[in-house]
Amino acid sequence: MQTFQTEVEAADAMHQAYQNIKREISKVIIGQEEVINRLLTAIFCQGHCLLIGVPGLAKTLLVQTIASALELEFNRIQFTPDLMPSDILGAETLDQERNFKFIKGAIFANIILADEINRTPPKTQSALLEAMQEYAVTIAGKRYELSRPFFVLATQNPIEQEGTYPLPEAQLDRFMFNIMLTYPSYEAEVEIVKNTTSSKVNQVEKVISGKEIQAFQQLVRKVPIADNVVEYLVKLVHKTRPNTAAASPQANKYLEWGAGPRASQYLALGAKCNALLRGSYTPEIQDVKAVAVDILRHRLVRNFKAEAEGISIEQIIHNIMNEIR
């Protein structure tokens, strides 16, 4: 693992590593630069992501490719109605000598793809979400630490809602980002078809190790942030809370519920990381704005008026940001 003399040197190395990772991912994934940026930001901030998109948009391939470039162990869990917590966490079994032996579940990896998390009952969802929060699991009274770095990408299909168990707001709050994956552009889809229907196989090279990622995670928290940037992001979160002294007219009109303090924490961390990834040493208000929609999207609850008028969460967030001078 490379050692750095100064934090500025470490910041430059992180920016370069980000460019190298993007270069390797682009060998396999066409476009989706914004999504890749958010996923890497979450990893460097020790956060988790909820990714919403229709089937066939290469969500699994994207995560596998990132895991390959980061030299991390990857596991995919397909969530189904009959999935049990022990299928994720593991369980104790009797060996040939009739001693209890713990068999690790799929959660014991660095990157977990929780595919269609809303297809499994709340009991199984909670098993995963507890591991996300505690970075450990408890089986038969014994605690087992998870490997670090540890990152969960959960996907949801926005089309089919029959037989699903939507995540409640309290559980959604544990995800740093809620990312909307859209269809590729015409030009990108042409490239996708060319690349995926030929015999050519692109190999992704390892760029950084798990220990280097952990060093960059510590670096993000050391980044200085100016008071005016902190005040901006806290003011933004406060304005999302309807029927409070600082509430925005948009919040009072269109929101049932606003964001909590965890949103402010993630906005600060996300802004710091976004600054580092673009080659700056300290975040500006533009860095807060860059990550705000994906951080706030799943923390705000629209009221009936917003739904009836077709006002989206994204519109409300942008309108509130435009109010702050």
Q: Which two tokens stand for residue 136?
A: 């450990």
3-class secondary-structure state, position 89: helix
Report yes or no on 154 lying in a domain: yes
Output DSSP code: residue 81. Answer: T
Q: What is the CATH number of the domain that holds 265?
A: 1.10.8.80
Assess whether 206 and 228 both reside in one domain.
no
Please write down the HEC assignment for all residues of 109-154.
CCEEEEECHHHCCHHHHHHHHHHHHHCEEEECCEEEECCCCCEEEE
Assess whether 196 and 116 both reside in one domain.
yes
Assess whether 109 and 170 both reside in one domain.
yes
Residue 217 clears pLDDT 90, i.e. is over it: yes
Assess whether 171 and 247 both reside in one domain.
no
d(C-alpha 67, C-alpha 100), whole Å = 33
Instruction: Give the alpha-carbon dihedral of 215, 221, 225, 227, to 10 degrees.
Output: -170
Q: What are phi and psi of 30, to 5 degrees?
A: -95, 125
Q: What is the pLDDT of residue 55?
A: 76
Q: What is the pLDDT of residue 274?
A: 95
Assess whether 184 and 248 both reside in one domain.
no
Assess whether 309 and 161 both reside in one domain.
no
Q: What's the whole-model pTM score?
A: 0.89
Report yes or no on 263 lying in a domain: yes
Report yes or no on 13 lying in a domain: yes
Residue 1 clears pLDDT 60, i.e. is over it: no
Structural domain of residue 78, as residue ranges?
7-210
Assess whether 290 and 179 both reside in one domain.
no
pLDDT band at 144 (very low <50, low <70, confident <90, very high): confident
Residue 22 vs residue 325, higher pLDDT: 22
- Amino acid identity of residue 299, one-letter, is R
pLDDT in tens, 162-215: 557 777 777 788 899 999 888 888 888 888 888 778 777 778 888 888 889 999
Q: 185, 210, 235 — which closes off a domain?
A: 210
Question: 33-44 vs 285-296: helix axis angle to the nearest 10?
Answer: 90
Report yes or no on 158 lying in a domain: yes
Q: What is the mean pLDDT of the chain?
A: 87
Assess whether 41 and 186 both reside in one domain.
yes
Report yes or no on 194 lying in a domain: yes
Beta strands 90-94 and 100-104 are antiparallel
pLDDT in tens, 34-62: 888 999 999 999 999 998 887 777 777 88
3-class secondary-structure state, position 78: strand
Q: Which two tokens stand for residue 83?
A: 């999935």
Report yes or no on 138 lying in a domain: yes
Q: 177, 210, 243 — which closes off a domain?
A: 210
Q: What is the CATH number of the domain that holds 127?
A: 3.40.50.300
Cα–Cα nearest to 164, from 155, 152, 151: 155
Q: What is the pLDDT of residue 289?
A: 95
Report yes or no on 98 lying in a domain: yes
Q: Could you give the number of structural domains in the chain?
A: 2
d(C-alpha 252, C-alpha 262), whole Å = 21
Q: 161, 181, 210 — which closes off a domain?
A: 210
DSSP characters over 222-250: HS---HHHHHHHHHHHHHTSTTSTT--HH
Assess whether 154 and 300 both reside in one domain.
no
Beta bridge partners of 179: 51
Report yes or no on 2 lying in a domain: no
d(C-alpha 304, C-alpha 310), whole Å = 10
Residue 72 clears pLDDT 70, i.e. is over it: yes
Assess whether 38 and 87 both reside in one domain.
yes
Q: What is the pLDDT of residue 216?
A: 92
Q: What are phi and psi of 194, to 5 degrees?
A: -60, -45
Output DSSP code: residue 302. Answer: E
Assess whether 20 and 163 both reside in one domain.
yes
Assess whether 111 and 228 both reside in one domain.
no
Peptide bond into 149 cis (omega under 30): yes
